Amino acid sequence: MNPKQLWKNCLAEIETGISKANFSTWFKNTSILREETGIIYIGVPNEFVRDWLMNKYHKLITKTIADTYENMRAVEYIIAKVENTKEELPIISNETYVNKELPLKDLYINQEDNLNPRYHFNSFIVGAFNELAYAASQAIIENPGTKYNPFFIYGGTGLGKTHLIQAVGNSIKQKYPNKKVHYMTLEKFATDFINSLQNNKANSFKEKYRKYDLLIIDDIQFIGKMEKIQEELFHTFNTFYENNKQIIFSSDKHPNYIPELADRLKSRFAAGMIVDISPPEYESRLAILKVKLGELNVTLEKEVLEYVASAVEGNIRELEGSLNIIVCQYQLKNKPLSLPEVKLLLKNNMRPKKNMAIKDVVRIVSEHYKLEEASVYEKTRKKEIVKARQIVMYLLREDFNVSYPLIGQKLGGKDHTTVIHSCLKIKADLKNDPQLLQELEQIRIMFK
């Protein structure tokens, strides 16, 4: 193996999949140092780069190396001085970053605030899956900086988190023209921070972000193992909070599930409002399809729309993807598609269903613990019933991705925070209780 040539080939492949600015920031001054028994050791210039590569690009790096070097077993990162990469990976200034990272004119994104004007509430569908997040966002628009600060929204990929938080930004910008709004990803925040350190402009970095009245940071889940970035975000947050300036975060998971997130940040997040967005239920999926068809100026048969809404149970992005396939075929054939044609068309685009009514989960858990089903819904502190109810909540969330508010509503009108606490407790108990783990495995067998 020629380490230099191998890494050069891998960098050429990696560069095609990420932005030029991110490539320059995170892969500059990196190199394969050596290979030992299938382990590839990559040299990185500092801990910031090491942590970011491990958290954000490790899968990409591992796959790229494995595609070229079949004997690879694992990848490790070592802080080391690496030479002779400056010409291949030039330093890009913050000013260049804005122009290179986002083709702003092509994407119609505002150069000052990074907000996409297409994200507004006129096209945002509200349903049981996101109504709490929507209600909180409207309260923030009315009283930014004082109501639900910070606002932390989380949920799986493609459920509309970015649409919602950018719609808040666009609404506040319209309602309060003098307020300065800025949207960014955590990666951009981290990139700017690293560049400021490299260019000895730490104070400029602080001044840049603390001048805003509303700061929106997307994909905060990647911050988990980055102590220095966490520290800087903590100080930025405190400045916003103390000056009644609004800050909004989005993540694909609850703060308590972000690995190695500092307790002081968890505490700050919890002091505001933490809400989740779950996959949309049938009625919301149908409404989303109708809105998208209106935007495309296309008409489909009612039974076709109802089939797609019932069959595609994943996220909104998958729902839109399925609709795009149908519309594309519709336009190619220049005639409406029949239901059998649609079913055939989407056959390879469907994921296996994993669906079960809440009452069925309650029944199975109750039978396992030899309890009356009705007792799970009752207000009681009997240990055996509390345990069963917490397990029901945990399974509904983990296995079937039911939203916390809906779980609470169906299980005796519990508050969503009670459901979150129950899920966290069961998750914590599973780490130290082998018997509980066995019980859950036996219960899950009954789901099949």
Residue type, 375: S
Is the pLDDT score of 82 beyond 60? no
Whether the bond between 177 and the residue before it is cis, its omega within 30 degrees of 0, is no
Q: What is the mean pLDDT of residues 383-395?
A: 94
CATH numbers and ranges of domains, the chain: 3-79 (3.30.300.180), 116-277 (3.40.50.300), 282-349 (1.10.8.60), 358-445 (1.10.1750.10)
Question: What pTM did the predictor assign?
Answer: 0.59
Express each pLDDT in 234-288 by its tens digit: 998 999 989 999 999 999 888 888 888 889 999 999 889 999 888 888 888 999 8
The identity of residue 24, as a single letter, is S
The alpha-carbon radius of gyration of the chain (Å, integer) is 25
How confident is the model over 83-95, as a mean pLDDT? 39
Compute the distance between CA of residue 258 and CA of residue 263 in angstroms, rounded to an integer: 11
Q: What is the mean pLDDT of the chain?
A: 83
* Of the listed ranges 175-184, 254-263, 348-357, 411-420, the one predicted with least confidence: 348-357
Sign of the dihedral through C-alpha 297, 299, 300, 305: positive
| Three-state secondary structure readout of 106-166 | HHCCCCCCCCCCCCCHHHCCCCCCCHHHHHHHHHHHHCCCCCCCCEEEEECCCCCHHHHHH
Q: Is 268 left (phi over 0), alpha (psi -120 to 50) or beta?
A: alpha
